[in-house]
């Protein structure tokens, strides 16, 4: 077990071929919405890149130097295209985007309560874990395990804080909560900052929220068993959506 967790501490292995032997919360959305894309490489996108930068800036600031920033107006410029080609990456951060996220970071850790929780003595960051859940092995990487209060802290950004209770379900944070609480054996709390206004919010999942995440996981496993299990009865190429209008 310790050897597996050590390997999963490496992002390349966690998100790469080695980590694919385990199911993860990101698989739930794929299985439920488009199983044909299950375990296919995910192309880099601006939200994913910004999310990684945000988490790195707060949790592992010593690694922020690993991001290549391009000081130009847009990704359509010659400067950006040349930098992208030289880097070998799928996408690079624009300097202005990094500055916006740096501003979000400063606002979140500039709040005394948030700072005290995020950087409390004994906290552990980017902690991988695995656990058998409903007959399958699942992986997760927790943002923060807060030793003092024995809770899991997950950092999120949102475009509208007032709608977070709805977007949390839309982005499968409910199933993430269910999985992580099972893996790490501690309750989860979401620390959220709103883009633009920098308003902050702490969200504690309810029993119903977590139960909804469990039901979502169960539905995803039904799809997995139908198309991807060793004895799967159907080929995923035959998948289609059927609804009544």
* Percent of the chain whose predicted confidence (pLDDT) is above 70: 100
Q: Is the dihedral of CA 181, 199, 171, 10 positive or negative?
A: negative
Report residue 40 CA to chain centroid gap.
17
Identify whether residues 163 and 202 lie together within a single domain: yes
Average pLDDT over residues 64-86: 96
The band of 1, judged by pLDDT with boundaries at 50, 70 and 90, is confident
Q: Residue 137 corresponds to which tokens in the numbers above? A: 């092995």
In the chain, the number of structural domains is: 2
Model confidence at 157: pLDDT above 90: yes
In angstroms, how far is CA 226 from the centroid of its own chain? 26
CATH number of the domain that residue 146 is part of:
3.90.320.10
Provide the domain limits for residue 71.
Answer: 43-110
Q: Is the same domain home to 102 and 203?
A: no
Residues 161, 234 share a domain: yes
The answer on 227 and 126 residing in a single domain is: yes
Residue 245 within a domain: no
The answer for residues whose C-beta is within 8 angstroms of residue 228's C-beta and 6 or more apart is: 35, 38, 236
Same domain, 124 and 92: no
d(CA 213, CA 208): 9
- Name the least confident of 35-49, 65-79, 89-103, 126-140: 35-49
- In angstroms, rounded to a whole number, what is the distance separating the alpha carbons of residues 183 and 179? 6
End-to-end CA distance of the chain: 49
The pLDDT value recorded for residue 42 is 84
Q: Are both 69 and 122 inside the same structural domain?
A: no
Whether 105 and 115 share a structural domain: no
Give Cα separations from 202 to 16, 83, 117, 123, 171 (angstroms): 32, 38, 11, 18, 17
List residues bridging with 128 in a β-sheet.
141
Confidence of residue 31 (pLDDT cuts 50, 70, 90): very high
Residue at which a domain ends, from 110, 144, 165: 110
**Residue with token string 């501003």:** 103
Contact between residue 38 and residue 30 where contact means Cβ atoms under 8 Å apart: yes
- Do residues 118 and 144 lie in contact, with contact meaning Cβ atoms separated by under 8 Å? yes
Which of 52, 76, 110 is at the close of a domain? 110
Per the CB < 8 A criterion, the answer to whether 103 and 193 are in contact is no
In a domain, residue 244? The reply is: no
Instruction: Looking at the structure, tell me whether residues 27 and 51 fall in a common domain.
Output: no
Tokens at 154, concatenated: 């997950």
Given 63, 87, 110, the domain boundary residue is 110
Give the span between the Cα atoms of 110 and 103, in whole angstroms: 10
Report the C-alpha gap between 235 and 226 in whole angstroms.
Answer: 8
Grade residue 145 by pLDDT with cuts at 50, 70 and 90. Answer: very high
What pLDDT is recorded for position 115? 98
């Amino acid at each position: 077990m310790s050897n597996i967790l050590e390997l999963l501490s490496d992002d390349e292995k966690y998100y790469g071929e080695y980590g694919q032997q385990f199911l993860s919360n990101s698989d739930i959305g794929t299985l439920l919405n488009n199983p044909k894309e299950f375990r296919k490489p995910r192309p880099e996108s601006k939200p994913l890149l910004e999310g990684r930068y945000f988490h790195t800036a707060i949790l592992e600031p010593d690694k922020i130097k690993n991001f290549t920033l391009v000081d130009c107006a847009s990704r359509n410029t010659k400067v950006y295209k040349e930098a992208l080609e030289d880097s070998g990456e799928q996408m690079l951060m624009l300097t202005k985007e990094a500055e916006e996220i740096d501003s979000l970071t400063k606002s979140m850790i500039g709040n005394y309560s948030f700072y005290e929780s995020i950087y409390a003595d004994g906290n552990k960051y980017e902690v991988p874990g695995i656990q058998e859940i409903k007959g399958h092995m699942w992986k997760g990487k927790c943002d923060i395990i807060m030793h003092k209060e024995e809770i899991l802290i997950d950092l999120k950004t949102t475009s509208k804080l007032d709608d977070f209770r709805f977007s949390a379900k839309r982005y499968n944070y409910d199933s993430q909560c269910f999985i992580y609480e099972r893996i790490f054996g501690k309750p989860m709390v979401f620390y959220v900052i709103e883009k633009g206004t920098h308003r902050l919010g702490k969200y504690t999942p309810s029993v119903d929220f977590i139960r909804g995440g469990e039901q979502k996981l169960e539905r995803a496993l039904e799809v997995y068993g139908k198309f991807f299990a060793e004895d799967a009865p159907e080929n995923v190429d035959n998948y289609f959506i059927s609804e009544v209008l």
